[in-house]
Amino acid sequence: GENVEQHPSTLSVQEGDSAVIKCTYSDSASNYFPWYKQELGKGPQLIIDIRSNVGEKKDQRIAVTLNKTAKHFSLHITETQPEDSAVYFCAASRTGRRALTFGSGTRLQVQP
Amino acid sequence: GAGVSQSPSNKVTEKGKDVELRCDPISGHTALYWYRQSLGQGLEFLIYFQGNSAPDKSGLPSDRFSAERTGGSVSTLTIQRTQQEDSAVYLCASSLMGSGGKETQYFGPGTRLLVL
pLDDT, residue A61, reads 97
- What's the pLDDT band for A1 if we cut at 50, 70, 90? confident
The mean pLDDT value for A78-96 works out to 94
The secondary element (H helix, E strand) that includes residue B85 is none
The mean pLDDT value for A10-36 works out to 96
pLDDT, residue B101, reads 56
Tell me how close the Cα of A63 comes to any Cα of chain B, in angstroms. 17
Convert the pLDDT of each residue in B36-52 to its tens digit. Answer: 999 877 899 999 999 99
- The helix/strand/coil state of B6 is strand
What is the rounded CA–CA span in Å between residue A37 and residue B17?
33
Tell me how close the Cα of A76 comes to any Cα of chain B, in angstroms. 20
pLDDT at B20 over 80: yes
Contact with chain B for residue A58, Cβ under 8 A: no
Q: From residue B18, how far is each of B40, B69, B82 by CA, in Å?
A: 25, 18, 6
What is the rounded CA–CA span in Å between residue A86 and residue A58?
20
Is the CA virtual torsion B85, A88, A101, B19 positive or negative? positive
One-letter amino acid at A46 equals L
End-to-end CA, chain A: 41
Residues of B with CB under 8 A from a CB of A: 4, 31, 33, 35, 40-45, 48, 50, 56, 58-59, 91, 93, 95, 99-110
- What's the pLDDT band for B5 if we cut at 50, 70, 90? very high
Q: What values do phi and psi take at A82, rounded to 5?
A: -55, -35
Contact with chain B for residue A34, Cβ under 8 A: yes
Beta carbons within 8 Å of A46's beta carbon, 6+ residues apart: A34, A35, A36, B104, B105, B106
pLDDT, residue B42, reads 83
Percent with pLDDT over 70 in chain B: 95
The mean pLDDT value for B100-105 works out to 72
pLDDT, residue B99, reads 54
- The helix/strand/coil state of B39 is coil
pLDDT, residue B57, reads 93
Cis ω before B8 (30° cut-off from 0): yes
The mean pLDDT value for A54-65 works out to 94
What is the rounded CA–CA span in Å between residue A64 and residue A47?
10
pLDDT at B14 over 70: yes
> How many A×B Cβ pairs under 8 Å?
74
Q: Where are the alpha helices (DSSP H) in chain A?
A: none
The mean pLDDT value for B77-97 works out to 95
pLDDT, residue B98, reads 56
One-letter amino acid at A13 equals V
What is the rounded CA–CA span in Å between residue B54 and residue B68?
8
What is the rounded CA–CA span in Å between residue A4 and residue A33?
11
pLDDT, residue B77, reads 98
Q: What average pLDDT is seen over chain A? A: 94
